[in-house]
């Protein structure tokens, strides 16, 4: 039997769970995106129930890839930033396989977005050297690639900047909460990116998250030696990248 080239990608977030089948060759979603609210509280079995409903919606019987908001090693979730703490130390792969009857791979959500951008978005022509993908939203997510290969589960959004966690200074949520101007917020982002550039000397920095659509408002306040580009896939990146968890030539199983 010919190996299927379409995987159901699922992006698990703190407020919503989004999914669509994805063609691994083209990066195109082959059906309309489907979204359900994340259950509150977002305990493992409750979330698994939503994953099962999504699988049923697509009448899915093949491989599933899931992006999860936390550190994931060999299918086990080790942190839980925006979901219930019961996820810490939980075998998410096994749970989702039991509830869907499908083969499942779970990876970190920022890693998923990075994989999508590296293969089908802003990083597709940058497969040499060091690339840093960083997303600004409710938190700060990061993904690092060396010659196109992912270094999984980086959490550089928690580096200390001027005595504070970077996430307390420069997220998109901070900009909204403090009503910062683009110049004020851009200066904070610049401080974070310059620190990460000093630590990792990237050749390319890809800036993602919902705020990336407004990049013309604040890129002028960011000054790096590395090339700076906005993410291209926007809210599709998490779904597409989750599916890419099954593409071994792009993503090692971690």
Distance CA 207, CA 222 (A): 11
Interacting residues of 159 by C-beta distance below 8 A, sequence separation 6+: 165, 166, 192, 195, 196, 199
Does residue 120 belong to any structural domain of this protein? no
Domain range enclosing 104: 6-111+236-246
- The residue among 151, 152, 142, 153 whose CA lies nearest residue 196 is 142
Q: Looking at the 3D structure of the chain, how many domains does it have?
A: 2
Please identify which residue in the block is written with the tokens 């998109």.
172
96/145 same-domain check: no
Distance CA 204, CA 224 (A): 10
Q: Diameter of the chain by CA atoms? A: 57
Going residue by residue through the chain, which has 254 residues, state the pLDDT in tens, using 9 for 90 and above: 345 799 999 999 989 999 999 999 999 999 999 999 999 999 999 999 999 999 999 999 999 999 999 999 999 999 997 899 999 999 999 999 999 999 999 999 999 999 999 999 999 999 999 999 999 988 899 999 999 999 999 999 999 999 999 999 999 999 999 999 999 999 999 999 999 999 999 999 999 998 999 999 999 999 999 999 999 998 899 999 999 999 876 555 55
132/221 same-domain check: yes
102/26 same-domain check: yes
CATH number at residue 191: 3.30.420.40
Spatial strand order in the sheet of 34-37: 34-37, 16-23, 6-12, 64-68, 104-108
The CA distances from residue 10 to 36, 38, 80, 134, in Å, are 11, 12, 17, 20
């Amino acid at each position: 039997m010919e190996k299927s080239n379409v995987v159901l990608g699922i992006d698990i977030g703190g407020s919503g769970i989004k999914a669509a089948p994805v063609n691994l060759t083209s990066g195109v979603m082959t059906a309309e995106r489907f979204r359900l609210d994340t259950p509150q509280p977002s305990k493992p079995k409750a979330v698994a129930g939503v994953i099962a409903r999504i699988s049923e919606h697509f009448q899915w019987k093949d491989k599933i890839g899931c992006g999860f908001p936390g550190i994931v090693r060999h299918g086990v979730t080790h942190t839980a930033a925006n979901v219930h703490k019961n996820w810490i130390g939980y075998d998410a792969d096994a749970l989702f396989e039991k509830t869907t009857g499908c083969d499942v791979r779970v990876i970190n959500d920022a890693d998923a977005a990075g994989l999508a951008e590296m293969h089908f978005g802003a990083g597709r022509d940058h497969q040499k050297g060091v690339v840093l993908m960083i997303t600004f939203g409710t938190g700060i997510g990061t993904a690092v690639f060396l010659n196109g290969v992912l270094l999984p589960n980086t959490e550089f959004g928690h580096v200390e900047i001027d005595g504070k966690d970077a996430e307390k200074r420069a997220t998109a949520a901070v900009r909204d909460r403090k009503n910062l101007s683009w110049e004020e917020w851009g200066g904070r982002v610049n401080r974070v990116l310059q620190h990460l550039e000093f630590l990792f000397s990237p050749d390319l920095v890809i800036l993602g998250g919902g705020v990336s659509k407004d990049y013309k408002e604040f890129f002028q306040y960011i000054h790096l030696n590395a090339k700076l580009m906005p993410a291209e896939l926007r809210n599709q990146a998490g779904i597409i990248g989750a599916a890419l968890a099954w593409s071994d030539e792009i993503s090692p199983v971690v």
